[in-house]
Amino acid sequence: MRSADSHDTSPPYAQLTQRIAGEGASAWNIHFRAKARQARGEDVIILSVGDPDFDTPPTIVEAAVTSLRSGATHYTDVQGKPALRERIAAFHRGHGGHADTDANNVAVLAGAQCGLYATAQCLLDPGDEVIIPEPAYVTYEAVVQSTGAVPVWVPLSADEGFQPRAADIEAAITPRTRAILINSPHNPTGQCLTPAVWESIATLCREHDLWLIVDAVYADLIFDGEHASPDSLPGMRKRTVVISSLSKSHAMTGWRLGWVVGPPALMSHLVNLALCMLYGCQPFIQDAAIAAFDEPPTAIATMRQTYRQRRDAVVETLRDSEVVATLPPAAGMFMMIDIRATGLSTHAFADRLLDEHGVSVLAGEAFGPSAAGFVRLSLTVGAERLREACRRVERCARECQGESRLAARPLNGMTS
């Protein structure tokens, strides 16, 4: 006799499951393939993920251990420990944020990703539109769609260095627009918004009564210049939400410690959401985060300097290439490589680069159609290994270009 369960399917899943299962989730397939090959002992250079190759600085690790040993293993302040929120507020003020930002403007959450998700739940209703420059970080689509809101993509032009133009954003505004989501410094391109563009976007937000959501996870990894935060612009404090974390700047991706800075009313909503979802971040991790803010800046400055040197190594190695070009980032840990001259789609190029040359990168299209023709590589291996990866990229690109030229050449005596 067949068991009653053997061919029965489960009851239906919520429609939410469809809205969060987009392309973003499959973007990582090439990375998982590269990891599997590396685990088999093959010579694979993995440049497909944004996880720093540095260890979390030891003083931070020790702070967590000490905190655990001292019994910080219980429920804690759902909004985040006041001492940590004060440090985050100070960090925000020091990174161009509004001068009056204090602990009441901060909620501590499990990474910037959790901050983005929680913010979206508190700001967006079904049918709302959120304007997002594209290419964009892969999770944004699912985050926005999880709420029933709709992402409205504004293409960034490769020929303008992927810098957003306020006029394009303005053209996308409709009566249903609720928010503009800006990531600066930007993943995947590493570009930063200029103060003038921030001002124009702020004007649009004021004129159309919009939220401005800012993902600033790479704010501490700017190579040249200062980070600007639009909440310090006139009339913007009440409509700006800035999300960040320690993941990238402090090599703490696995600790899951991030935050949201915004108006106190939003903090109350986030606390209510956290009450039914998270119930506060682990106290020993919050204590480690306090140590991270107290960490002498040298450790952080050294990491930033190292990313910068790696960026320069890539630029230098590919400088004379006739088939690929670099778009040097102003910040962060990624770099876009222009492979349009190969004649291949970026997915096909990325697959071939991994299969035949042992380097994994992400296809630009994973971040949006406007990044077609570019691949993103992470600056997360040492400079020498990066140079080797660049040589392989260049070799692969030359092969592809040669083959597509051959394929395009008409055969003697044949007419079409």
Ligand X SMILES: Cc1ncc(COP(=O)(O)O)c(C=O)c1O
Contacts to ligand X by CB under 6 A: 50, 111-113, 137, 183, 187, 215, 217, 245, 247, 253, 258
Q: How far is the CB of 320 from ligand X (least distance, A)?
A: 31
Contact 241, 214 (CB under 8 A): yes
Q: Is 260 helix (H, G, I), strand (E, B) or coil?
A: strand
Query: Is the Cβ–Cβ distance between 182 and 205 less than 8 Å?
Result: no
Identify which of residues 152 and 260 has a Cβ nearer to ligand X in the complex.
260
Q: How far is the CB of 262 from ligand X (least distance, A)?
A: 16
Residue in 361, 365, 250 with CA at minimum distance from that of residue 297: 250
Token output for 170: 């303005």
Q: Which among 135, 190, 187 is positioned nearest to 157, based on CA atoms?
A: 135
Ramachandran bin of 386, using left for φ above 0, alpha for ψ from -120 to 50, beta for the remaining angles: alpha
Residue 210 to residues 177, 217, 237, 416, Cα–Cα distance (Å): 7, 22, 12, 56
Nearer to ligand X by Cβ, of 113 and 177: the residue is 113
* Closest approach of ligand X to the CB of residue 158, in Å: 19
Report, in Å, the least distance between residue 140 CB and ligand X.
Answer: 8
β-sheet bridge partners, residue 406: none
Minimum CB separation of residue 231 from ligand X in Å reads 18
**Cβ closest to ligand X, residue 111 vs residue 343:** 111
Using only the alpha carbons of the chain, give its radius of gyration: 23
Q: Report the alpha-carbon angle 245-250-252, nearest 5.
A: 70
Residues 6+ away with beta carbon under 8 Å from 399: none
Secondary structure (3-state) at 12: coil
147 vs 247, beta carbon nearer ligand X: 247
Q: In the complex with ligand X, which residue's Cβ is closer, 79 or 187?
A: 187
Rounded to the nearest whole angstrom, what is the least distance from the CB of residue 385 to ligand X in the complex?
21
Type of residue numbered 279 = Y
Least separation in angstroms between residue 105's CB and ligand X is: 19
Which is closer to ligand X, CB of 134 or CB of 394?
A: 134
CB 339 within 8 A of CB 330: no
117 vs 198, beta carbon nearer ligand X: 117
